Amino acid sequence: MPQSVLDRKIALAVSPTERARKAAREVQAAHDWADLDQADIVVVMGGDGFMLQTLHQMLERGRIVPVYGLNLGTVGFLMNLWRSGDSIVHRLERAQSFEVLPLSMTATTMAGERVTYPAINEVSLLRETRQTAKLEVSVNNAVRISELVCDGVLVATPAGSTAYNLSANGPILPLGCGMLALTPISPFRPRRWKGALLPDSAQITFRVLEPGKRPVSAVADQREVRDIRDIQIAIDPNRRLSLMFDPGHSLDDRISAEQFIV
């Protein structure tokens, strides 16, 4: 028999915004909250940015448990609706879990430093100066574009496909599709290239051409590495995240609904 929510240790993570803190004061007395490092479930109160911050902290600590978000930010794409007076435990008992696979980005800088960061939404490469970036694009060690001239390029997961990727005219990816979106940002050459859909087993490599003249930075969600020489991006199958959603309010439902917004 599955373990009841009442028998599990639940932690509360609250954004420093006044709106989130005010809502947290309402629920803090309704449950015996555990410490984050001991929790079986984490309830996150805030916006999408704070949710990503919390998930990254879990990845860094190596202790990953299901996360249930309550939107006290703006968009709240990764969150559930906040309703004052609702029983958090009752909502957790009815919630459904969805698996999200993060990306792993390994970037090498011009100075030879090697940096690895996870990304839940996307990894983006961006020009650092007014000059366009020039990039070589390889998939599974095969060069696919010898010279991409652009403002940048990104690799997005299904969970992140409605964020920066959508703003860059990339495709919306349903959860569980087993795909990644490779999307150029303001491409100049090849002029007609609109990007690609790749299996999530693919390893994508970007090599910066003329890095001294045309420096490029890499951003994994919110963490930036500047002056990169090359970068490898692939799904990390060993660090699976679990997001919990109310029935009828799942991330998959909202990803599908985004395709009909005009």
- Note the pLDDT of residue 74: 86
Residue 244 buriedness (CB in 10 A; 0-12 / 13-18 / 19+): buried
pTM equals 0.87
Detail the residues annotated as belonging to a binding site for NAD(+). 48-49, 121-122, 151, 159, 162-167
186: left (phi over 0), alpha (psi -120 to 50) or beta: left
Indicate the burial class of 8 (C-beta count within 10 angstroms; 0-12, 13-18, 19 or more): middle
Q: Which part of the chain has CATH 3.40.50.10330?
A: 5-101+239-258
Q: Which two tokens stand for residue 213?
A: 């003249």
Q: Which residue has the higher pLDDT, 128 or 62?
A: 128
d(CA 120, CA 59): 10
Fold of 5-101+239-258: Rossmann fold (3.40.50)
pLDDT at 6: 63
As annotated, the residues of the chain forming the CATH 2.60.200.30 domain(s) are 103-235
How many Cβ atoms from other residues are within 10 Å of residue 238's Cβ?
8
Output the pLDDT for position 166. Answer: 92
Give the rounded percent of residues in the chain with a pLDDT score beyond 70.
Answer: 95
Q: How far lies 4's CA from each of 83, 94, 249, in Å?
A: 23, 11, 22
Q: Which residues pair with 223 in a beta bridge?
A: 220
Q: Give per-residue pLDDT as tens, 90-122.
A: 999 999 988 889 999 999 999 999 999 999 999
| 86 in catalytic set | no
pLDDT averaged over the chain?
Answer: 91
Distance CA 158, CA 78 (A): 12
Q: What pLDDT, on a 0 to 100 scale, did the predictor assign at position 1?
A: 35
What are residue 254's phi and psi, to 5 degrees? Answer: -75, -35
Q: Rounded to 5 degrees, what are φ and ψ at 253?
A: -60, -45
Query: What 3-state DSSP class applies to 58?
Result: helix
pLDDT of 220 above 90: yes
Lowest-pLDDT range of 5-9, 92-96, 181-185: 5-9
- Sequence letter at residue 44: V
Q: Which residues are annotated as a binding site?
A: 48-49, 121-122, 151, 159, 162-167
- According to DSSP, the residues that pair with 168 across neighbouring strands are none
Q: Which of 52-56, 109-113, 196-200, 255-259 has the lowest mean pLDDT?
A: 255-259
Residue 116, SS3?
strand
Q: Which of 35, 37, 40, 48 is catalytic?
A: 48
CATH architecture for the domain at 103-235: Sandwich (2.60)
Residue pLDDT, tens place only, 223-235: 999 999 999 999 9
Q: Which helix (H) or strand (E) holds 108?
A: strand 103-109
Residue 179 scores a pLDDT above 90: yes
Which residues does 102 contact at the CB level (< 8 Å), separation at least 6?
59, 118, 119, 120, 157, 235, 236, 239, 241
Count Cβ neighbours within 10 Å for each residue of 19-45 and write b for 16 or more, e otherwise: ebeebbeebeeeeebbebeebebbbbb
Q: List helix spans (H) across 102-159.
A: none
Does residue 253 carry a pLDDT above 80?
no
Buried b (16+ CB within 10 A) or exposed e, 137-167: bbbeeeebbeebbbebbbbbbbbbbbbbbbe
Residue 239: pLDDT band (50, 70, 90) is confident
